[in-house]
Structure 1
């Protein structure tokens, strides 16, 4: 009797693990696009940090990301159990925030003169040469911004994964969500660490080995700045695509428009929703920035009246 009970338990565990492996594979495939956006955005956030502090900053953000997921996984399980209707509104808020951040970056670049941007760059360079207290404050701001952005993207990853396992038993949901959370964090920040140290690897190779090794090192040194610029651009674009995608999928009218556009474009049907999501992200970002600016001006006006 005991032996049969043990065999039954082992069979149940094997079945659960098999389901977990299958569902985790499906969830990983669905979140691949978000993973690319997460990578681009977080590599962008480290830009401007002193070379010797890049890995400590990446590590600090990685710990913040793991804390984000430690909050999001139980929250997702609780929402799935007691308030499944709240998933979409929460994702919509996150999507709107990503669009706002993306448009704020564009507005800062295109709505300010070259002199103002040069002054900002000079201030940033001065901060890098300032006392240690200024560097600590600069790094802290970078880390906070990166963790805040990571929270939104992590929430989408967890939400997509939750949708994959929504009909599964609780234990399967827990194991799949936890596994995806750990794998995505290690994967993203491992790659970010590799990318930000690419120039150091190039310098090392350019000073050692034969002619081929040194040529490879020089190539990496030449490519590293362009890669970081490309990642910065990709990160900004990703904000609009991810944020706009969340909004267009959450609003039925926009979702139908996206599907109609895909059908109308025929063989390029994959491009229609991408362009549509980007356009939605731009418009949403502009509206959010306008609302935020109006709120700041109103708050300042009311504050001035109160002081008066």
Structure 2
């Protein structure tokens, strides 16, 4: 089969290759014929989970089940599904554990579904970790990205007063329609906030922590800036605040939460915000668009 593999000497570190078809090894694993994939920042910036030349990267896939899980735990052959794992997704066929897949509603296309596994689950889990947010001020940084745009919608759906922080006014386009009550460039005048879903890292993470009201929480989801963070926790303590920062990694399995966001999308209650669509043969152009911050939301590629 055809797959995208890690190749350090390639222009964007990836290239196409012919590789053996995957074979399910466990009774709860199913095989899908992949129809679409999506790109995540960590994959294209750092080649996450592709350490050796020839490794197949890729977290998110959507396709059709061609071999059901032998233990009966997953959907039957012919079912349209989306799913995630930390590698092996950028290929014409993929093995996934049944607990990490969800059925795609009839009204959702493969590209939209492929945009939702990691980004959608991350948005759901990070908002839930803030606790009840009804009527509370919630700041989402990096709100123009794939996870950020989903988090804005889900936090607003949960009743929060959502403040969307973006890098430029242009990057904030459309966020009001998704549920952001405020769209800001920089954090001046934002305090106080009950919680923060933080995607940028570096100085932004430190500044966001300083905006918390007493008892507030920052969920540190990502570090798109690539910069370290310095926080004077003693100063925060002396200010009399009992606040916390939680580092975020998605909790697995993810099938239930993925089904939730797919169902919302199928009912027209969540917009996956696929801001870039193309065929996977144009992978390098898609990577450049994502790294250059020219994609509003997610980039999804059709597999051929």
**TM-score, with normalisation over the residues of structure 2?**
0.23
Which structure has greater helix proportion? 1
**TM-score, with normalisation over the residues of structure 1?**
0.23
Relative contact order: is structure 1 or structure 2 higher (C-alpha 8 Å, sep ≥ 6)?
1
